[in-house]
Amino acid sequence: MLGLRMTLDPTLGVTPEPPRLAPSLLEQLAAALGERAVRYCQWKGHWKRERWMTGEGDVDLLVAAADLPRFAAVAHPLGCRPARSAPDAEVAGVTSWYGYDPELPLFLRLHVHTRLIIGEHWRTLCRVPIEDAVLADVVPRAVFPAPRPEVELILFVLRMTLRHAASDVLGGDPSWLVVARPELAYLEEQAEPARVSDLLARHLPAVDRALFDRCRNALELRISPLRRLAARRALCRELGPTLRSAPLALTVRRAAAAVRRRAGTPPPVARRLASGGLLVALVGADGAGKSTCALALYSWLGPHFRTMQAHLGRPPRSLWTLIVGGLRKLVPLPALIYLRHVCTARDRYRLAVRAGRFALDGGIALCERYLGAEHDQLVGPRIRALAGPRARGFAHSLAALEERYYRRFPAPDLRLVLRVAPEIAVRRKTDEPGDYVRRRATLVWQAQWTGGSTRVIDAGRPLNLVLTDLKAALWTEL
């Protein structure tokens, strides 16, 4: 992502990334959970540390239900935030958390279970009620504690068995099974067969050793797909009271989404942060890098959360705006100039309302050139200044209407001010007259930016440092 932005605007510069010296976010989380004596473990996937430590994969934690409030109290100050999926994708007993580590380009994704749920929400879900047994006997690993190898092997075999599908009949070995084989071999090297049998008998009597071995053998390569499906059916039959099949409507929606993705039009992201949405005003003069930073923030947030961009300086023009603008070019009367400013105020107001409603619905709206008290000279009412303070009649009415539109703008939840020295702005903005850029940059540079929701960012530094501060300010507000 940073490479893309440096290609688009190399004048913003970049500094080399220093090597990591402090513990990573996940290492800090593990240490803090240990200090607070939270009962938890990484119940699956610890073998793929390279993936989940960098955000490429998910971190699956099992937390004792009684300790979930303490987990949240530890995770939130470290930069982890709970998120909500679409209603039909939510699973009771499982919450998703996103962690922001400034040293990583990707978010860290945590699935926090208070109940052991295996399977996929769009196919079959199964409750494996052995949470107490898992948490009662954990072993230390590189970052998070994990279940004993025998427990992890049992859960792994059950999870992989539920992944068998009728579509496997059409081809050879499914790709996911080929990938899973090394982890299976690793777990079997660690586990003691006698202990596996004992755990099954004590905690999962519905799955006897014969059925478990049948499921395990179905994970071999180059065996009949029918044997795999038969093992899955046998497992589902024994676990029937704890199974939940996906409703037909969800299956249809998943199929439709797959078709859209193949057509190059993926469905919109429906995930929302549990803390609610955010209306973000990104302000600054020409040359401060607003558009560059807005696109970088959108690229960072958009793949994970409902996110939109809005440029209040260039709002979508309504039909009235187009008509008045055309007439003004033909007949440059003052009244038509005033009307054009009213139409612009109306267009900006409508876009601001759309962004505000988007945030109210749980999305993150990134708005450039948003209205603000210190920023009114760049984006704000114009008619009063053009017509003079003693404007009367038609000019006064239009000035009042224009001001009314701007006065009704929804207040931003967070205002990020990109502050850059005028001379730096002039060097960056080479496609505009220097005096024009300098004058506008001076307005922002000399303004006294105040307010609890305002964060002033030094935009005269290299791009990666500016983005680090922007991300930290935005994520903290969430």
Collect all residues with Cβ–Cβ distance below 8 Å to 428 and sequence separation of at least 6: 11, 12, 287, 289, 420
225 beta partners: none
pLDDT at 391: 72
Complete edge-to-edge strand list for the sheet that includes strand 243-245? 117-119, 124-127, 243-245
Nearest C-alpha neighbor of 380 from the set 344, 354, 423: 344
Distance of alpha carbon 468 from alpha carbon 288, whole angstroms:
15
Nearest C-alpha neighbor of 378 from the set 388, 368, 366, 391: 368
Three-class DSSP category at 272: strand
Domain boundaries along the sequence of the chain: 1-115, 148-267, 274-477
Distance of alpha carbon 127 from alpha carbon 119, whole angstroms:
9
Q: What angle do CA 233, 237, 238 make, to 5 degrees?
A: 125
Dihedral of CA 243/248/251/257: which sign? negative
Q: Are 416 and 451 a contacting pair, CB within 8 Å?
A: no
Domain 1-115 part of CATH 3.30.460 = yes
Task: Give Cα 241 to chain centroid, integer Å.
Answer: 35
Q: Do domains 1-115 and 274-477 have the same CATH topology?
A: no
The H or E element containing residue 18 is: none
pLDDT at 376: 54
Q: Which CATH architecture has domain 274-477?
A: 3-Layer(aba) Sandwich (3.40)
Please list the ranges in the chain whose pLDDT falls under 50.
1-11, 14
Phi, psi of 283, rounded to the nearest 5 degrees:
-120, 160
Residue with tokens 């059950």: 158
pLDDT at 16: 52
pLDDT at 247: 76
Residue with tokens 């603000």: 372
What letter would DSSP give residue 83?
Answer: E
243 beta partners: 126
Q: What is the pTM of this model?
A: 0.83
Q: Are 79 and 97 a contacting pair, CB within 8 Å?
A: no
Three-class DSSP category at 173: coil
With 0-12 / 13-18 / 19 or more C-beta atoms within 10 angstroms meaning exposed / middle / buried, residue 453 is: middle
Q: Are 287 and 426 a contacting pair, CB within 8 Å?
A: yes
Strand ranges inside 35-106, DSSP E = 40-44, 58-63, 80-84, 94-99
pLDDT at 3: 34
Phi, psi of 88, rounded to the nearest 5 degrees:
-80, -5
Q: Are 145 and 41 a contacting pair, CB within 8 Å?
A: yes
Long-range (24+ apart) CB contacts under 8 A made by 32-35 are: 32/74, 32/78, 33/71, 33/74
